[in-house]
Homo-oligomer: A and B are copies of this chain.
Amino acid sequence: MRRGLNNFFRCLKKDGEARLGEVKTAHGSFRTPVFMPVGTQGTVKAMPPDDLEALGTQIILCNTYHLYLRPGTEVMEKVGGLHRFMHWPLPILTDSGGYQVFSLNALREITPEGVRFVSHLDGSLHFLTPQEVIRIQETLGSDIMMPLDECIGYPSTRGYTLSSMALTTKWAKESLDARSRLDRALFGIVQGGMYGDLRKEHAKELSQYPFDGFSIGGLSVGEPKGLMWEMLEATVPYLPEDRPRYMMGVGKPEDILEGIERGVDMFDCVIPTRNARNGMLYTSQGPVIIKNARYASDDGPLDPECTCYTCRNFSRAYLRHLFMSHEILSAYLNTLHNLHFYLSLTREARHAIDEGNFVVYKKQLIEKWNKGS
């Protein structure tokens, strides 16, 4: 029955629950824990792909929902897939579009066969089935695909959570059947809302199927942070050791570290890129709000400990000036820096795990951030 990929994931080392691993895809390998910059519309906002690669980005995430609506699968077929389209030679993970259907659309309807929704771009009506979502991702040429799932809100009743979970399971199984490219990975998405026993139940259930990895979905949807970690802890122990675990849409730098400590291998989040464009920059001394007047004539680098292009060549005064002047270069320099921060964070986390030193690494880093800010 198993049709998943051979040798897709290898755990190289464990340090507590934290894992150093390697994932092999059709576009090369990447090391975990990994942070995946988000390229919603087929571009990590403001970043030329060569810069992204030079930063050490190993894999990016793109949004099936957005690319399905624009430029559409017909164009995507004609131009030979997403890698070629956006000139990105390394792995791409695509989400299923489920999250966007549920979060961007007031008008949507769920049936056992799929979801009906109205495009946020032009009001056109669409119906997506689990099968169609796989077909779209295969057309994109995604290396790691997600099945259509329902990402429920917080709070949700136990009853709704249970029936939604059953639907997500049904769609996940249909997605496995729908897959036609056997060189591309497909993950299962664990839901279960904020009910620890349902999380456990869903993790165990999905683990019976030949998914290449497991996503932990439905977290960071408005619940208290403590509850999120509780749910993660209720999930991870019931996922197979030999597959990667991906915590969807998380999070802040400290969240990445908390997730790694609890055995998560893959992360994606718009925070570094979106905050960059809003002028919130992560540094070794804690976050910097660059529009703050105190930086107006601050000739020093954004982060004296950082080695990125932005910090090596530009002052806080200049970054503030660009931000205040609404200059495009502001988005570029800020995004470059924040991604460098996230990618360094996970690179050093891998190193710490390899050294059996992750807990100390995490503690020292968070203390430093809190002290500086």
Answer yes or no: A70 CB below 8 A from chain B CBs.
Answer: yes
Give chain B residues whose Cβ lies under 8 Å from the Cβ of A309: 48, 50
Q: Mark A320-338, 1 if CB is under 8 A from B, else 0.
A: 1110110111011100000
Residues of B within 8 A of A297 (CB): 71, 74-75, 78-79
Q: Quick one: given A297-B75, A328-B332, are A321 and B70 in contact (CB under 8 Å)?
A: yes
A86 at the interface (CB under 8 A from B): yes
A299-B314 Cα distance, complex, nearest whole Å: 37
Chain B interface: which of A38-46, A149-157, A210-218? A38-46
- Cβ contact within 8 Å between A325 and B70: yes
As for how many copies of this chain the complex holds, the number is 2
Taking the closest CB of chain B, its distance from the CB of A73, in whole angstroms, is 11
Which residues from chain B contact A327 at a C-beta distance below 8 Å?
41, 43, 45
A47 within 8 A of B: yes
Sort A-B residue pairs by CB-CB distance and give the 3 closest, nearest first: A78-B297, A46-B328, A87-B313
Q: Which residues of A contact B (CB under 8 A)?
A: 41-43, 45-50, 70-71, 74-75, 78-80, 85-87, 296-297, 299, 309, 313-315, 317-318, 320-322, 324-325, 327-329, 331-333
Since A49-B313, A71-B317 are in contact, a sample of 10 more A-B pairs with Cβ atoms closer than 8 Å, ordered by chain A residue number, is A42-B322, A43-B322, A43-B325, A43-B327, A45-B328, A48-B332, A70-B324, A71-B320, A79-B299, A85-B317
